[in-house]
Structure 1
Amino acid sequence: MTIYYVNSAAGSDRNSGTTQNSAFATLSKVESLTLKPGDSVLLAKGSVFNEQFDIKYSGSESAPITIGSYGTGAAPVIHSGGDGIHSLYASNIVIENLKISNTGGPGIYAGNVKNWTVRDVEIAKTGLSQSDGAVTFRSSQNVTIEDSKITGVNGDGFWIEKVNGIKLLNNTVTSANGSRADAVQMNDSSNILIKGNHLDQTDADSPKGVIALVRATNAVIEDNVLTGGGFGISAPAGKNIAIRDNDISGYHGYDWSFAIGLGDQGNSQDYDIAGNYIHDGAWGVVVTASSDTSYSRTNIKVHDNVFDDLTQAALKVDRPASGSFYDNTMESGVKATSISPAIADAHTFTVKNNQTVANVDTMLASSVAETAVMTEASADSAVVAVHDNLKIFTDTGAAHRGNLLENDSSENGTLALRRFGDESVGKHGLTLTGDYGVIHVDREGNYAYTLDETKLPDHSGHVSESFSYGINDGTSHHSDTDTLTVFVHLDGLLS
């Protein structure tokens, strides 16, 4: 197991590459080596490599080959007229702590590989040819992409095709641009988990949407924040699909825009759509097709969702389907259902036990507090953090205030904010600059968010940003984490 070091500024390809003081200078030198299981290739922080990096050799499941970084400073950067990192048939690979930008093709492209992990990788301005996604995997198995950031790319954020075993965890995609671009495009794949991601297409120049999940089998999409785009989640064909506990908003611009859509491109069977907060858009959940088809749409369950600020109905069913719409909540003014007479007369899609409330925000706040108590009681967790939302409809220039801890709980009755973003919260608090404003927090959980109107886009709709935070109960033994999401409704600010 050998560690090879590469330093574009101070290295030389005449060196051995096996110590920091004898680092190689180029990635092409690494490509000339026969990497073995357990080997690592570490790129010096601050380095810039203007070349495609081809990974040709496989690690083993117990000893993967790792591509990472060393030293201090900014992450090493790979630029290329082709792909950033490219691989075919190499398996058991870990890629971490790098930046890839300004490439002609994808930042990462891999085909016919197994057991890849990509973590803490930043990808920006890739796909200048608008082909594939910023991260592309094809005909592969067991791929995990986590804690990575994709911004301002040409083409899809993620393009996943014919992959069995794919996890997208806690990633951020902002503005996947192009006429055919989605934040996530996933085709003909199985055993899928998309969880904890923040995907924002608000400012993308794409007529498409956030997640396109086509002909999937065994998929779970949960706990994501999805913003903007022509649609939130398009799952037009598939089997055994769970879409739950997502925050989906800002999908409008078209009369057909929907939060969740299915039934348009093939048979759709066993969908469970539950616990989602769907707001600021056109349609809610749609079971439809652009033309008459003979696809089957069976066992579609839509329940325990919240629908707010929609211009169309919470549920639309205008193609033959079986399922149910129950225990959902609509704010006043949102139409519950739009079901074609033929479907209604067939009695195959039942509607029952739904409610309309005057104020969704009040209902959600009460529900969150109750859930926190129930979670603590059932799981016996010492500390429970619950997601926080700040909605800004108007702005006077003053700070928008709240407290992150008021809906959290601890077994010993003590709570403290210890981390916010990626930094520790000191005794004098912490101030961070976000995408659209500045936020100050203190250890008691109080926050003050001040908008910077110079950063706001000049259009209607809304934008959002999220901050992660960590709390404990005054000890180092019990802790939990969650996020604060700030929603800025531009319609009120720009009017």
Structure 2
Amino acid sequence: MTIYYVNSATGSDRNSGTGENSAFATLSKVESLTLKPGDSVLLAKGSVFNEQFDIKYSGTESAPIKIGSYGTGAAPVIHSGDDGIHSLYASNIVIENLKISNSGGAAIYGGNVSNWTVRHVEVDKAGSSAEAGSVTFRNSKNITVADSKIAGVNSDGIWIEKVDGIKLLNNTVTNSHGARADAVQVNDSSNILIQGNHLDQTQADSSKGVIALVRATNAVVEDNTLTGGGFGISAPAGKNVAIRDNDISGFHGYDWSFAVGLGDQGNSRDYDIAGNHIHDGAWGVVVTAPVDGTSYVRSGIKVHDNVFDDLTQSALKVDRPASGSFYNNTIESGVKAYSISPAVADAHTFSVSNNHTVANVETALATTATTAAATTDAVADQAVVAVHDNLKIITDTGEAHRGNLLENDSSDSGTLLLRRFGNESVGKHGLTLTGEYGVIHVDRDGSYAYTLDETKLPADHDGHVSETFHYGVNDGTSQHSDGDTMTVFIHMDGLLS
């Protein structure tokens, strides 16, 4: 197992490459080697490489080949007129702690590969010469993309096609541009987990949406914050799809815009849409189909225990033959509960029951959070349970907006402490962080004060923006802990004069 070092500033391709003081200078020199299982290629922080990096050899499951970084300073950067990192048929690869910027094609492209992990990678403005997904995998197996940041790409932020075994975990994708661009698109794939991501298309020039999940089998989309776009989640065909506990907002711009849509590109069977907060958009959940006479099966669709508010259209729309149920949802007054075509209503195949209308959805959210914490504690026997928090800013006087992150969290011991916020430790004097749209101070007891900076809001004063902070809590012993997110929703309609 050999570690190879590459330093664009001080290295030389005449060196051995096996020490920091004898580093190579170029990625092409690494490509000339026969990498073996367990080998690592480390790029010096602060280095810039103006070339595509081709990965040709495979590791093993117990000894993957790793591409990473070393030293201090900014992450090493790969620029390329083609792809940033490119590979065909290589397996058992880990890529971490790098930045890929201004690539002509994809930032990372893997075709016919297996057992890849991409983590802590930053992608900026990829796809400048083509509409290629910035992180792209095709015809592959067991792909994980985690804890990475993708911004301003001219393409889908993440593009997955014909892959069995996908995990997209805790990534941030912001403003994927292009007429056909979504933050995430997954086509014809199976065994999918999309969890804990913050996906924001608020300022994208795309006419599409946030997640496109097309013809998926065995998929779970949960605990994500999805903002902006023409739609939140388009899951037009698939089987055994769970969409749960997401916060979906800002989907508007078209009369068809929806939070969750299905049924228009193939058979849709066994969908469970539950526990989502759907707000600030047009339609809620839409079960539909093209008007060209194509006949698809839409069956086993359950829409339940969601919260709907601030929608210009109804919470549920069913305008094509379908079987399922709409029950136990909470709907803010002023939002129409459902729109079901007469033909579907007369067929009695889509039942509606036990939905609730409330005047103030924030109260309902607090109740839902408390119930969720109690349920999780009973089922999983967790000593500490953290539950997602929301701060909605509709008007602003310049004063701090205050609350407490721990009010809806729980601990068996009765003690809860905020230990981490925004990936920083919370000290005895608290922590102050500068976010995208304001400054927040948090203390160990969970109290927070968020001060909006109106100078950071987009020039267009209409619509909505949001930002999300991750946090971690424990019971004072560090033996039991949990984490979740806080999302700040800023309604700009009338906020600025």
Query: Which bracket does the TM-score occupy, shorter chain normalised?
Result: over 0.9
- Per-residue CA distance 1:181-211 (angstroms, 9 max, x = gap): 0001111111111111110001101110001
CA distance in 1, matches of 2:381, 2:139: 43
The normalised TM-score by structure 1 is 0.98
The normalised TM-score by structure 2 is 0.98
Equivalent positions of 1:275-424 (< 5 A) are 275-291=275-291, 292-424=293-425
CA distance in 2, matches of 1:138, 1:109: 8
Amino acid at match of 2:235: A
Amino acid at match of 2:457: L
Equivalent positions of 1:126-165 (< 5 A) are 126-165=126-165
Amino acid at match of 1:428: H
What is the aligned partner in structure 1 of residue 263 from structure 2? Answer: 263
* Residues 436, 456 of structure 2: 8 Å contact kept: yes
**More displaced 10-residue stretch of structure 1: 315-324 or 408-417:** 408-417
What is the aligned partner in structure 1 of residue 453 from structure 2? Answer: 452
- SS of structure 2 residue aligned to 1:289: coil
From 476, 479, 483, give the equivalent of 1:477: 479
CA distance in 2, matches of 1:284, 1:427: 43
| CA positional deviation for 1:129 | 1.8
| CA positional deviation for 1:374 | 4.0
What is the aligned partner in structure 2 of residue 122 from structure 1? Answer: 122
CA distance in 2, matches of 1:370, 1:283: 26
CA distance in 2, matches of 1:443, 1:294: 56
What is the aligned partner in structure 2 of residue 178 from structure 1? Answer: 178
* Residues 83, 109 of structure 1: 8 Å contact kept: yes
| CA positional deviation for 1:362 | 0.6
What is the aligned partner in structure 1 of residue 489 from structure 2? Answer: 487
* Residues 113, 139 of structure 1: 8 Å contact kept: yes
| CA positional deviation for 1:378 | 4.2
- SS of structure 1 residue aligned to 2:91: coil
What is the aligned partner in structure 1 of residue 245 from structure 2? Answer: 245
| CA positional deviation for 1:96 | 0.5
- SS of structure 2 residue aligned to 1:493: coil
- SS of structure 2 residue aligned to 1:153: coil
- SS of structure 1 residue aligned to 2:495: helix
Q: Give the aligned length.
A: 495
CA distance in 2, matches of 1:380, 1:188: 36
* Residues 147, 170 of structure 1: 8 Å contact kept: yes
Amino acid at match of 1:156: D
* Residues 436, 467 of structure 2: 8 Å contact kept: yes
Amino acid at match of 1:8: S
What is the aligned partner in structure 1 of residue 193 from structure 2? Answer: 193
- Per-residue CA distance 1:45-102 (angstroms, 9 max, x = gap): 1111111100011111111100011111111111111111000111110001111011
| CA positional deviation for 1:375 | 3.1
Q: Does 1:105 align with 2:122?
A: no
What is the aligned partner in structure 1 of residue 464 from structure 2? Answer: 462
- Per-residue CA distance 1:215-245 (angstroms, 9 max, x = gap): 1111111111110000001111111111111
- Residue ranges of structure 1 left out of the alignment (5+ in a row): none
- Per-residue CA distance 1:342-363 (angstroms, 9 max, x = gap): 1111111111121211111111
Q: 1:328 to 1:471 in 2, by over 3 A?
A: same
* Residues 51, 79 of structure 2: 8 Å contact kept: yes
- SS of structure 2 residue aligned to 1:376: helix
* Residues 131, 178 of structure 2: 8 Å contact kept: no
- Residue ranges of structure 2 left out of the alignment (5+ in a row): none
CA distance in 1, matches of 2:353, 2:257: 25
| CA positional deviation for 1:494 | 2.9
Amino acid at match of 2:39: D
| CA positional deviation for 1:492 | 3.4
Amino acid at match of 1:48: V
CA distance in 2, matches of 1:346, 1:377: 39
CA distance in 2, matches of 1:64, 1:408: 39
CA distance in 2, matches of 1:271, 1:318: 17
Amino acid at match of 1:306: V
CA distance in 2, matches of 1:357, 1:130: 48
Amino acid at match of 1:285: V
Percent identical: 82
Amino acid at match of 1:295: Y
* Residues 130, 178 of structure 1: 8 Å contact kept: no
| CA positional deviation for 1:377 | 4.3
Amino acid at match of 1:479: S
Amino acid at match of 1:73: G
**More displaced 10-residue stretch of structure 1: 195-204 or 264-273:** 264-273
CA distance in 2, matches of 1:384, 1:269: 32
Equivalent positions of 1:435-446 (< 5 A) are 435-446=436-447
* Residues 426, 444 of structure 2: 8 Å contact kept: yes
- SS of structure 2 residue aligned to 1:309: strand
| CA positional deviation for 1:289 | 2.0
* Residues 330, 364 of structure 2: 8 Å contact kept: no
Q: 1:40 to 1:374 in 2, by over 3 A?
A: same
Q: Does 1:71 align with 2:71?
A: yes
CA distance in 2, matches of 1:166, 1:377: 29
CA distance in 2, matches of 1:326, 1:369: 20
| CA positional deviation for 1:473 | 1.7
| CA positional deviation for 1:130 | 3.5
Amino acid at match of 1:409: S
What is the aligned partner in structure 1 of residue 212 from structure 2? Answer: 212
